Amino acid sequence: MVLALTLLAAACSGGSNLTLNTGPAPWPNPDNVAARIDAAGLPSSSTESLTVHYHSHVDIFVNGKAEPVASSIGREDQSLFSPLHTHATSGLIHIEAPEDQDFTVGMLFTEWGVRLTNDCIGGYCGPDTKLKAYVDGTSYTQPISTIVLKKGEEIAIVIGSPPPTIPSTWDCLANIDPAIENPAQCADFGEQVPA
């Protein structure tokens, strides 16, 4: 009976004890990538699926300073992919899925292994530190974790004092490294991609 309960507990928890990063930004690439994808409730595959394919952008500001988004969230080298992942520190979020569903900021942070609750992001917690999000420049009034990532959307997560300007759009072509990310993906942000 005890063995059965132990096995059941291990199966329910994915067999691993995932810790969350509760320190300050910048937050590194996650460990235990496959288990974190599972924890986000997402499938994984050895290849990217392009049945559903679009991109969002996430900015993170801490006391007005831009912080990078980790370069390998939901992805391990070129051998394991979640339908929600990153390839570089630009904040370009890749949604490459076998079927359409809502992908949220909460799922992204679960894959990243960074604490995201109604009161805390990483090592920053209210009420001492103000936590706010904006979608396309408009204040988001629901929990940050519930933001649904949509094609061409600019999401700004602001921790502490805000930057001088809250971005409402993202200049994709000026902010990606074409050696890592395909400039054609910038079409999702309404940009003319050079031929």
pTM: 0.90
Alpha helices by DSSP H, listed for the chain, are 2-12, 33-39, 105-112, 172-175
CB hemisphere CA count around 73 (13 angstroms): 28
pLDDT for the residue numbered 17: 82
Ranges of the chain whose pLDDT falls below 70: 1-16, 195
- pLDDT tens figures, 76-94: 998 999 999 999 999 999 9
SS3 content of the chain, % helix, strand, coil (to 5): 20, 25, 55
pLDDT for the residue numbered 194: 73
Cα gap 174→121, rounded to integer Å? 28
pLDDT for the residue numbered 16: 58
